Amino acid sequence: MTAYPARSDAFTLTAPVRLWEDGFAADPYAYYATLRAQGPIGWAELAPGVFAYIVTDRRAALDLLHDTETFSADPRPWEKTVSEDSPILGMMRWRANALFADGAEHVRYRQTLLDAFDLVEPHELRERVHKAVDILVSRFGPDGQADLVTQFARPMMALVFNNLFGLPDSESGRLDAALGAMMEGGERSAEGEAEYGRYVMELIAAKTARRGDDLTSRLLDHPLGLTPEEVVWQVFLTLGAGHEPSANLISNALSRILGNPAYYSTLTSGARPVMDAVMEVLRYETPLANYGVHYARESVSFHGMWIQAAVPIVISFGAMGHFAEKDFAGGHHPHDASHVSWGAGPHACPVKQPALLIATESVERLTQWLPDMEPVVARDRLTWRPGPFHRSLTALPVRFTPRTPDRVPSLSPDASDASDQAGDRA
Ligand code: HEM
C-alpha cells in the first residue's frame, strides 16, 4: 500500500455539497469553490442521500487513479448501502465490464475494446462522421435555424455509434433518448437505463444471428473469448461512455466557437482551428465533469483526509480544469496544467483519438455546410442539463442561411438513401 501523508486532525467535514441540485448545472464553479475550500478532497451528495468524496486537486487525483492497491473500481461493496431505486445506480452500479473491473479482469475486458477500435480506420471513421453530418444537415438545413444540441451533436453521435456497432440508422434515435435520460441521474434515469438495456440486448441478438463488419461482431468473435453476457456489458459501457461525453464535447466546443471573433473567421478562412476549441473544452469545461469513480478497499488516510472504505470517491475533472483556467487567467499557469480530462492510470479513456477525430471532423463538416451560423443566445445565457456527472448544454440555438443538400446519404449499408432517411424520421 502506498504511504500517504498522515491524516490532518484539523480537517472536519462540513455539510455535503449537493451536486444533484439544479443550481449545480447553472453554476458548477461556485460548487467547486466550496468543495475546494474543504481541501484537496471535499464531501458531496450525488443524489439525495448518496454521499461521495470529490477530488478537486490534480496531485490527489493522479495519486488515486494510479494506486490500484489502495483503490478499486468495483462498486459492489458500496452498492449494498444504496437503495435499489436510487437514480444514481444507472451510472454507478456494477456490470461485468472494463470500467468496474480491477487487475487481470480489467486488462482482459479492456484489451477486447482496444482491439475492436483498432480496426476502425481513421479515414473510414471520418467518412462515417461526414455522412452523419450530411444526414442531419439535410433535416434542419432548409429551416435556416437549428438547435445544435438536440438536432446535431447528440443525434450525430448516435448515428455514428449506432452504425459502428452495427444497427441501421433508424435505431439511432432510441439510443440517444435512452442514454440522455440515464445520464441525468434524475427521475427518468431508471426508464432510460431500461430502454438502453433493451437497445443493447436487441443489438447483441441481431449480431449473434448475423455478424457484420462492426464493433459488436468483433467483440463477439474476439480471441479472448468473452461470454455473450460479457459482450453485452462491454457494449453497454462503450456506447454510454462514448456517446454522452463526445456529444457534449462537440456542443461545448461549438458554443465556444459561435460568435467568438477569435474563431469566427475559422468558419470561412481559418483564424483558429476547431481543435483549439476542442482542447479549450477539454482543459476548462470538460464534458465528463465528475467521474473516474473509485472506492478505498479499506479505510485509509489519503491527502489529509480519512477515507472510509466502500464510499465513492469521484474525480472532479471539471473542478481541476476550472482552477487551472483561473490560474491561467491570472498569468500563473502552472507547468503541470495539462488537462486530465481523459482520466489517468489503467482506466484512462482508451478511445481518445477516435473521440477527438469525431469531434473535430463533425464541427468542421458542419461549418463547411453552414459557414454563416450565428448564435441565437449569448454563451453566458445558455442553460445546462442537471446531473452530477456531466457538463452538458440543454440547447445551442443557431440561425444561418438555409441549405438543402442535393443528396442525402445513409450510414446503413443495406438501406437506400431515401428509404433510410424516411425510416429515421419516423
Ligand atoms: C469515441 C468516444 C469514446 C469512447 C468509445 C470512450 C470509451 C471509454 C471506455 C470504454 C472507458 C473505460 C475504460 C476502462 O475502464 O478501462 C472510458 C474511460 C474514460 N473516458 Fe472515454 N470514451 C469516449 C470519449 C470520451 C470523452 C469525449 C471523454 C471526455 C473528455 C472521455 C473521458 C473518459 C474518462 C475520464 C475515462 C476514465 C473513467 C475512469 O477513470 O473511471 N471519454 N472511455
> 93-103 pLDDT, tens per residue?
999 999 999 99
Backbone Cα Rg of the chain: 21
User: In this structure, which long-range contacts are made by residues 215-223, counting pairs with CB atoms below 8 Å and at least 24 apart in sequence?
Assistant: 215/116, 215/117, 215/120, 215/164, 215/165, 215/166, 216/165, 216/166, 217/166, 218/115, 218/116, 218/119, 219/112, 219/113, 219/116, 222/112, 222/115, 222/116
Which one has a higher pLDDT value, 114 or 268? 114
Predicted confidence band of residue 10 (pLDDT cuts 50, 70, 90): very low
Percent of the chain past pLDDT 90, that is, above it, reads 75
Q: What is the DSSP letter of 416?
A: -
Mutate which of 128, 351, 353, 360 for ligand 1 pocket (most atoms within 8 A of beta carbon):
351
For the CA of 243, the closest atom of ligand 1 is 2
Cell 440561425 -> residue = 399
Which one has a higher pLDDT value, 304 or 109? 109
Alpha carbons 276 and 343: distance in angstroms, whole number: 20
Q: What is the DSSP letter of 82?
A: S
Separation of CA 265 and ligand 1 centre (Å)? 32
318 lines ligand 1 (CB under 6 A): no
Encode burial over 316-337: b for 16+ CB neighbours within 10 A, e otherwise: bbbbbbbbbbeeeeeeeeeeeb
Choose the weakest-confidence range: 19-23, 301-305, 332-336.
332-336
Secondary structure (3-state) at 277: helix
Mutate which of 117, 234, 349 for ligand 1 pocket (most atoms within 8 A of beta carbon):
349
What's the start-to-end Cα distance of the chain, in Å? Answer: 56
The CATH code for residues 17-425 is 1.10.630.10
Sign of CA dihedral 331, 336, 338, 344: negative
Q: In what order do the strands lie in the sheet with 145-147?
A: 145-147, 397-399, 374-375
418: phi then psi, degrees, rounded to nearest 5: -65, -45
Separation of CA 246 and ligand 1 centre (Å)? 9
Query: Is residue 51 over pLDDT 80?
Result: yes
Which one has a higher pLDDT value, 265 or 116? 116
Cell 486488462 -> residue = 107
238 lines ligand 1 (CB under 6 A): yes
pLDDT at 269: 59
Sign of CA dihedral 259, 265, 268, 273: negative
Which one has a higher pLDDT value, 350 or 10? 350
Separation of CA 372 and ligand 1 centre (Å)? 33
Query: Is residue 337 over pLDDT 80?
Result: no
User: pLDDT (tens digit, 9 = 90+) per residue, 169-225?
Assistant: 999 999 988 887 776 656 777 888 899 999 999 999 999 999 999 999 999 999 999
237 lines ligand 1 (CB under 6 A): yes
For the CA of 246, the closest atom of ligand 1 is 27
Query: Is residue 421 over pLDDT 70?
Result: no
pTM of the complete model: 0.90
64 lines ligand 1 (CB under 6 A): no
Encode burial over 31-56: b for 16+ CB neighbours within 10 A, e otherwise: bbbebbebbbbbbbbbbeebebbbbb
Query: Is residue 11 over pLDDT 80?
Result: no
310 lines ligand 1 (CB under 6 A): no
